[in-house]
Amino acid sequence: MNGAQRYEIFTLFPQVFEPYLETSILQRARQRGLVEVHLHNIRDWATDRHHTTDDLPYGGGGGMVMKPEPIFAAVESVLGNPPTCPVILMTPQGRVFTQKIAQELAQQPALALLCGRYEGVDERVRQHLVTDEISIGDYVLSGGELPALTVLEAVTRLLPGVLGDPDGAWDDSHAMGLLEYPHYTRPPAFRGWEVPEILLSGDHGRISRWRREQALLRTWQRRPDLLDNAPLTEEDHEYLNSLRENINGTRTSTDRGG
């Protein structure tokens, strides 16, 4: 991908984004021209005197529904008709966001993120404007702004040049299908708790293997479901088999009263 990745964010609350965009990784990425973020207030495209963007649902029921006219007008005036990039609705009904999806979206030169509010958006927005729907988990928030920020940061940190360490994003939890290995820094001893000796050895080959085994161990203990799809080597399988055998051996010994 050449040039800056562009985000077009459509929301009723653009002020939610502004402080975070001026902080840390996203701030540096924008300053260095790696990312462009454009905030669009959907209310600006409402045509009535009160700038109404929601209304009562047909058929009754509680809550309000975001109207289609301002959303279509906002997106099409910025992106054209049809839109020139993917339009992603942040919704609990979408596909659950993962590192794999972040990697997929990082290949796009531009993304539009549509933040719902209230009871959601008019179904015609889903059917005729949105090209993808993403959820950040099985729970409910008041709107799509925080999920959009989550997607924004997760995708941005994968772009070349964003992180100081070019391999940093690929060592993180989930990036390679495993949870990340434990980290230590100075001092080498704190309250009697020592940094593992191998990390002080200077032997980068042994350190690399230790980190891989720790990632496998942590994943096996906490998220064994991830191992089903993780890219594992023959050496990885041997290590996991040794963990299982050790557990089975311990259970057998306990059953025998050993």
Could you tell me the end-to-end alpha-carbon distance of the chain, in angstroms, rounded to an integer? Answer: 61
Q: Give me the catalytic one of 36, 69, 76, 172.
A: 172
170 contacts 176 by C-beta, under 8 angstroms: yes
Q: Mark whether 30 is an active-site residue.
A: no
Q: Give me the catalytic one of 14, 70, 92, 147.
A: 92
Q: What are the residue ranges of helices labelled H in 174-233? A: 204-222
Q: Mark whether 213 is an active-site residue.
A: no
In this structure, what DSSP letter does residue 97 have?
Answer: P
Q: Mark whether 172 is an active-site residue.
A: yes
In this structure, what DSSP letter does residue 201 have?
Answer: S
Angular region, 191: left φ>0, alpha ψ -120 to 50, beta rest:
left
The count of C-alpha atoms lying within 13 angstroms of the C-alpha of 101, restricted to the half-sphere facing its C-beta, is 16
With tokens 């975001």, the residue in question is 66
Q: Give me the catalytic one of 119, 132, 213, 236.
A: 119
Q: Mark whether 119 is an active-site residue.
A: yes
The residues annotated with a catalytic role in the active site are: 92, 119, 157, 172
